[in-house]
Amino acid sequence: MSNSKIITDAPAPEGYSGEGFFATKLDSVVGMARANSLWPLPFATSCCGIEFMATMASHYDVARFGSERMSFSPRQADMLLVMGTIAKKMAPILRQVYEQMAEPRWVISVGACACSGGIFDTYSVLQGIDKIIPVDVYVPGCPPRPEQILDGIMRLQDLVRSESVRRRSSPEYTELLASYNIK
């Protein structure tokens, strides 16, 4: 999408500091703010959803990433986590949920079923959610452990942190959405 270097180990963004001030790019500040408050929208249909419940619980504590508040309203969420088998009958609903989310929005596909249909290579199952919505991070596993889900969220944070504020209005992004027929 963009040529920006993906920052993976930066506690504070690059900038210019002096006596009592710190100057940096708006991109970095906005990216930092977004990355550390990703509000998840769990779309859990099966076993991976149970793993995500464990991720939410005290031991793994997804709240450490600023994702304390699970949103079940697409309008107040920016990280869609699709966890579980998506049947073809469910596909339009998933797509509607994605369309109802406001920009900027990111998608994590958790587990083999959401990524590729998994073991369900059959007539009733959608063979990967990237057939209907764009996906940012794929988490493999069947089901993935909570650590893997957390790793997926951290990977997404890297993406979010280094994303330009102009990316969502870029022609490439418009083209990507157009390829999915999403306005």
The distance between the two most distant Cα atoms of the chain, rounded to a whole number of Å, is: 65
Phi and psi (nearest 5°) for 121?
-85, 75
175 forms part of the interface with other proteins (CB under 8 A):
no
88 forms part of the interface with other proteins (CB under 8 A):
yes
Distance, in Å, from the CA atom of 151 to the CA atom of 173, rounded to the nearest integer, reads: 25
SS3 41: strand
In the list 9, 14, 19, 121, the residue contacting other proteins (rule: CB under 8 A) is 121
In the list 46, 71, 127, 148, the residue contacting other proteins (rule: CB under 8 A) is 127
174 forms part of the interface with other proteins (CB under 8 A):
no
Least CB distance from residue 157 to other proteins, whole Å? 29
96 forms part of the interface with other proteins (CB under 8 A):
no
In the list 3, 18, 21, 123, the residue contacting other proteins (rule: CB under 8 A) is 123
In a 13 Å sphere around the CA of 145, the CA atoms on its Cβ side amount to: 3
**Smaller CB separation from other proteins, 101 or 126:** 126
**Smaller CB separation from other proteins, 71 or 127:** 127
In a 13 Å sphere around the CA of 44, the CA atoms on its Cβ side amount to: 18
Distance, in Å, from the CA atom of 82 to the CA atom of 118, rounded to the nearest integer, reads: 14
**Smaller CB separation from other proteins, 53 or 91:** 91
124 forms part of the interface with other proteins (CB under 8 A):
yes
What the block records as the tokens of 135 is: 């996906």
Are the C-beta atoms of residues 132 and 95 closer than 8 Å to each other?
A: yes
By CB under 8 A, name the binding residues for other proteins: 88-89, 116, 119, 121-124, 127
